[in-house]
Structure 1
C-alpha cells in the first residue's frame, strides 16, 4: 500500500514538473514575440520609399554664349516627404534654388550637362541630368542703309548719294537678328558722326570729297556684319540740287 502511494506521489510530481516546463516554454515564446513584434511594426511604419524624378526640362535647349535658360525638375515622393534639390552644371553657373532654377551659359560653344540630385527627409535619393547646347546662332543681317535729310541737298545715285557740303544727314541702319539685341558701331572717312544706335547724324565736310560711312552690327554672341554707303560731297550745290 505504501509503495502505491509513493508511486502516485512521484507521478504527480512528474506531471507538475512537465506542466511547469510547458508553462516556461509558453512564457518564453510570448516574451520572444513581444520583443520582436515592436521591431516589425517599427520597421513597417518607417519603411521609406525614395523620391522619383518625373521629368527634367529646359525653357531653351539651345542658348547663346552667356545666355540663360530656366530649368525645371518635376519630382514626387511616394511618402509625401519634403524634397531637397541640389543642382550642378558642367559649365556655366546655376542661380536660384528649389525645383526651378536658372542656368547661365558660359562664353564657350559646346554641350553642357545640368544635373539635379533630389533627397527626401529619410535620405532617399534620385538623380537626373539634362544636356543643353551653347551655340553662336545666325549672324545679324543688314537689310538697308537709308539716308534722309531735312533739306534738299541730298540726291540718290546709282552708287550712293550726292550730298551738299556742311549739311546734316540722318543715316539709319535697318538690321535684324533672331538673337535679339544688336550693337551698332559707326565710322566714316570724312565729316563728323553724332549719336549712336541704329540711326546717327552725319555732317558733311566743308570740302568736296567722296566719303564712306560704315556700320558694324554685332549681336550678343559676337556675330557681326559690316555694311557701307558712299556719300559724294559736291562743291556746286546749285548745279546738283537745283
Structure 2
C-alpha cells in the first residue's frame, strides 16, 4: 500500500515538473505585422488605365504574411499578394480609396490606405 502512495506521489511530482511554462516567465506575445510602405506607380490615372500598388510589410515574429486588397470605388483589383494592379472603371471618375490589410499567420494585422484619383 505504501508503495502505491509513493509511486502516485512521484508521478504527480514528475507531471507537475514537466509543465510547458516556467512560473514567472511570461509567454511570448504575437506582434502584429508592420506596413513599412505602400507604393503606387501613379496617384492619378485615366479611365481604362491602371496603376500598380506594392505593399512592403514585415513581421517582427517572422510569421508568414497574407494580403487583402479592397477598393471603395468600382475599379478592379487584379492579382494577389504584396503587389496588385488597379484598373480604373469609367464609373469611378474621382477619388478611389484602395486599402490593404496585412495579416500574420496568427491573425494580427496592420492596414494602410491610399487614394488614386481617376480622370477622364
TM-score range relative to shorter protein: 0.7 to 0.9
Give the TM-score normalised by the residue count of structure 2.
0.77
Q: Which runs of 5+ in 2 are unaligned?
A: 1-12
Structure (1/2) with the larger helix percentage: 1
Q: Is residue 94 of structure 1 aligned with residue 43 of structure 2? A: no
Alpha-carbon distance change, 79 to 36 in structure 1, aligned in 2, over 3 angstroms = same
Q: Distance in 2 between matches of 1:66 and 1:54?
A: 29
Equivalences for 1:91-240 in 2 at 5 Å? 91=73, 92-107=75-90, 108-136=92-120
Q: Distance in 1 between matches of 2:79 and 2:45?
A: 19
Aligned to 1:44: 27
SS in 1 for 2:27: helix
Give the TM-score normalised by the residue count of structure 1.
0.39
Q: Which has the bigger relative contact order, CA under 8 A and spacing at least 6? A: 2
Aligned to 1:71: 53
Alpha-carbon distance change, 54 to 65 in structure 1, aligned in 2, over 3 angstroms = same
Q: Distance in 2 between matches of 1:40 and 1:57?
A: 46
SS in 2 for 1:134: strand
Aligned to 2:40: 58
Number of residue pairs aligned between Structure 1 and Structure 2: 105
Q: What displacement does 1:34 show?
A: 4.9
Q: Distance in 2 between matches of 1:67 and 1:40?
A: 60
Q: What displacement does 1:44 show?
A: 2.1
Q: What displacement does 1:42 show?
A: 8.5
Alpha-carbon distance change, 58 to 40 in structure 1, aligned in 2, over 3 angstroms = farther
SS in 2 for 1:44: coil
Bigger radius of gyration among the two: 1
